[in-house]
Amino acid sequence: MRTSTLAGLMALAASSTTAQFVNTTAPFALLVLSQNETYNGTTISPCHEGAAIEGLCIGTKLGSPPPAFVQTYTQNYSASATVDPTIGVVGYLIFDLPVSGLNESSPMSFAYNPSSNVAVPLFEPSESGQEVAFHEDQLFIPSFTNDQVTPPTFEENVFDRWYICNTNVGYNYITVAWALGDAAPQNPSCVKASIRRVFV
Ligand SMILES: *[C@@H]1O[C@H](CO)[C@@H](O)[C@H](O)[C@H]1NC(C)=O
Ligand SMILES: *[C@@H]1O[C@H](CO)[C@@H](O)[C@H](O)[C@H]1NC(C)=O
Ligand SMILES: *[C@@H]1O[C@H](CO)[C@@H](O)[C@H](O)[C@H]1NC(C)=O
Ligand SMILES: *[C@@H]1O[C@H](CO)[C@@H](O)[C@H](O)[C@H]1NC(C)=O
Ligand SMILES: *[C@@H]1O[C@H](CO)[C@@H](O)[C@H](O)[C@H]1NC(C)=O
């Protein structure tokens, strides 16, 4: 039992250190879908939260006529990726931060506040970030552990716990946010949303 747990851990460590997301998708815009008409159909636009740190702010609506400029993103995924039927394609959500004529690959990761159940996604130059999954062009967060049973079990799943909220991880903005766990976000401004990609 102990040996198999150790072997499992070592296999997991080996797979996570070799999980490099070096292939890149074509660029796509990110769109908010929501029952709330204020946010439904708006694009997601990077906004300054700190030095080389961008939030995922609400941009213009992708209506007609379409806006002159729509920010695009890519997903980096594993060169050996096979499409998992439950999870879709796992990888990083990337914003190319322009820095003096070059791009700094900035994967999305979450900023956590221990006193809140609302995490805020940020783009920041790094070699690693939060694993995300696109399944039929909808953005999910993959999960591999279910801790709602005792003892926790290995369970592949994807979650859509995206919201649009007034957040402050540097500035007050209307941004994409993520509810930790399956409770409603404690931030009263949060409105449920989903995130879709649209290839441009
Ligand atoms: C994403 O992929 C591109 C192209 O392979 C690479 O230049 C970049 O460093 C990658 N970014 C991350 C965060 O892995
Ligand atoms: C949201 O926008 C989409 C098209 O962008 C539309 O199909 C859908 O009906 C809208 N939903 C609501 C609740 O307005
Ligand atoms: C939509 O969201 C806006 C901004 O949070 C809010 O003022 C408005 O009341 C919401 N509309 C509905 C129908 O919930
Ligand atoms: C990753 O990119 C390489 C080089 O372009 C290509 O041969 C390979 O098929 C790609 N892998 C996937 C899973 O798309
Ligand atoms: C930087 O990324 C943008 C897309 O976000 C692309 O159009 C541009 O060519 C890239 N610039 C360089 C120098 O790679």
**Nearest-5° Cα angle at 85, 79 to 90:** 40
pLDDT digits (tens, 9 = 90+) for 133-179: 999 999 999 999 999 999 999 999 999 999 999 999 999 999 999 99
| pLDDT tens by residue, 73-102 | 999 998 886 788 888 899 999 999 999 999
Task: Give me 108's structure tokens.
Answer: 């999305």
pLDDT for position 67: 78
Q: Is 1 within a domain?
A: no
The count of structural domains within the chain is 1
Count Cα neighbours of 113 within 13 Å in the Cβ-side half-sphere. Answer: 17
CB-ligand 4 contact for 168 (6 Å cutoff): no
Q: CB of 149 closer than 6 A to ligand 1? A: no
- Domain assignment present for residue 3? The answer is no
CA-CA distance, 31 to 139, in Å (whole number)?
A: 10
Tell me if 182 is assigned to some domain: yes
Cβ 51 vs Cβ 59: under 8 Å: no
What is the per-residue pLDDT across 1-52, written as a single tens digit (0 to 9) for each?
Answer: 343 444 444 444 434 444 589 999 999 999 999 999 999 999 999 999 999 9
Does the beta carbon of 51 sit less than 6 angstroms from any atom of ligand 4?
A: no
The tens digit of pLDDT for each residue in 178-196 reads: 999 999 999 999 999 999 9
User: Domain residues for 129?
Assistant: 21-199
Q: Is 108 exposed, middle or buried (0-12, 13-18, 19+ CB in 10 A)?
A: buried
pLDDT score of 53 more than 50: yes
The CATH number for 65's domain is: 2.80.10
Tokens 């296999």 appear where?
Answer: 11
From 30, 94, 99, 103, give the residue whose CB has the most ligand 5 atoms within 8 Å, as the site to mutate: 103
Assigned domain for 167 exists = yes
pTM: 0.89
CA 194 to chain centre: 11
Cβ of 76 below 6 Å from ligand 1: yes
81 Cβ inside 6 Å of ligand 4: yes
User: How much distance in Å is there from the Cα of 158 to the middle of ligand 5?
Assistant: 30
Task: Judge whether 62 lies within some domain.
Answer: yes
Question: Is cis: bond before 85, omega within 30 of 0?
Answer: no
